[in-house]
Amino acid sequence: MGWLDRLTGREASAEKAKDRLRLVLIHDRTDLTPAQLRDLKDELIAVISRYIAIEPQAVEIQLSQNGREQYLVANIPLKPPRRSRR
Amino acid sequence: MPGTVLTITSGKGGVGKTTATANIAAALAQRNRKVVCVDADIGLRNLDLVLGLENRIVYDLVDVVEGRCRLRQALIRDKRLPHLFLIPAAQTRDKTAVSPSDMVRLCNELRQEFDWILIDSPAGIERGFRNAIAPADHVVVVTNPEVSAVRDADRIIGLIEAEEKGPARLLLNRLNPQMVRSGNMLDAEDVLELLAVDLLGVVPEDEAVVISANRGMPVALDEKSIAGAAFRNVARRLEGEDVPLMDLDDAGGLFQRLGRLFGRGD
């Protein structure tokens, strides 16, 4: 960072570029917009809920990558089983 | 042994495909390999100009494909490097004048006579790109450490994989070590992590590239140029040698020290 940037508190831009590219590349590669991903999540929750009790607010669905391979990673916590009391 | 077809492409325009083609070709020819460059950028030819061969064109790629001349007649020999040849693009036609199967046929003929066939691809993802990668054994993607160039490189790498021409290798062109140090330019590591491909080389920004293009003399032949040295390293890697990346910090460090000497700091 140059002295001028330090003086003005402006952040170096390369990190920003990398973060923005990371996101945009994931969506470019899958051809899936953030809005579509949200719809996918809602529908998935609805389908799964028909079979098993889940915590809808805790569901996490995101695109991730390993090398050039893309993954849809879903973390779907189940509702704790109701304890039967006697 | 039949020659190898190497296509140099990018997605985004202006990142240095033609410069890379001319200089990798010159560096290979300097190593006594028989090399032919094919300018596949029909309608926007420039490889002739960068190589300094623009005044010697009689026939072009489209003349060969359409049978107006024999292949041999369209080959222009470089007078400085007797192993280097060029097949220029047609200037008054468009990309549809040649088909991917025309390119495959042409390259199969060239393979019999040359060690390396380098194809300078046009920018974009349309017909011209498909023409350029159809005959490829290997593909090099050129990019700059800038957001738009990296994004387009990612797109083209995906298309190369879809055409089963991968894995592509990356040539990171015009890296400015001083900007990397100040945190204002993506480093080679950042770009490789984002694109997840193998690296063929890093070419630092160097005024000598523009100067040598002005003169029509490949910078790879300039022993003093740091970009020229980077292109010569790329040629050696293509031939299977294990050549470490240049230490660009040292070169930049020198500039920085000079800068401080003249009171400009950074």
With b for 16 or more beta-carbon neighbours within 10 A and e for fewer, the B25-47 pattern comes to: bbbbbbbebbbbbbbbbbbebbb
Please report residues of B whose CB lies closer than 8 A to that of A13.
183-184
Q: Do B196 and A18 touch (CB under 8 A)?
A: no
Tell me which residue in A14, A25, A67 faces B183 most closely, judged by beta carbons.
Answer: A14
CB B211 within 8 Å of CB A80 = no
B256 vs A: CB within 8 A: no
- Tell me: the pLDDT tens digits for B169-187? 999 999 999 999 999 999 9
Tell me which residue in B151, B183, B190 faces A1 most closely, judged by beta carbons.
Answer: B183
Is the confidence at residue B248, as pLDDT, over 80?
yes
Say if B51 falls within a structural domain: yes
Q: Do B157 and A65 touch (CB under 8 A)?
A: no
Say if B266 falls within a structural domain: no
Chain A nearest C-alpha distance from B129 (Å): 19
ipTM exceeding cut-off 0.90 for this assembly: no
* Number of folded domains that form chain B: 1
pTM: 0.86
A20 vs B: CB within 8 A: yes
Helix ranges (H only) for B163-247 are: 177-181, 188-195, 207-215, 226-238
Q: Can you give the pLDDT at residue A69?
A: 84
Selected residues 41-60 of chain A with any CB under 8 Å from a CB in chain B: none
- Tell me: the pLDDT tens digits for B64-99? 999 999 999 999 999 999 999 999 999 999 899 999
Which of A18, A27, A70 should one mutate to test binding to chain B, selecting the residue with the greatest count of B CBs within 10 A? A18
Q: Do A18 and B154 touch (CB under 8 A)?
A: no
B245 vs A: CB within 8 A: no
Q: What is the CATH number of the domain that holds B197?
A: 3.40.50.300
Judge residue B124's burial from the number of C-beta atoms within 10 Å of its C-beta, 0-12 exposed, 13-18 middle, 19 or more buried. middle
At A81, the pLDDT band (50, 70, 90 cuts) reads confident
Domain boundaries, position B106: 4-261
pLDDT > 90 fraction of chain B, expressed in percent and rounded? 91
At B265, the pLDDT band (50, 70, 90 cuts) reads very low
More confident residue, A66 or B18: B18
Say if B110 falls within a structural domain: yes
Say if B59 falls within a structural domain: yes
**CA gyration radius, chain B:** 18
Tell me which residue in A2, A24, A65 faces B151 most closely, judged by beta carbons.
Answer: A24
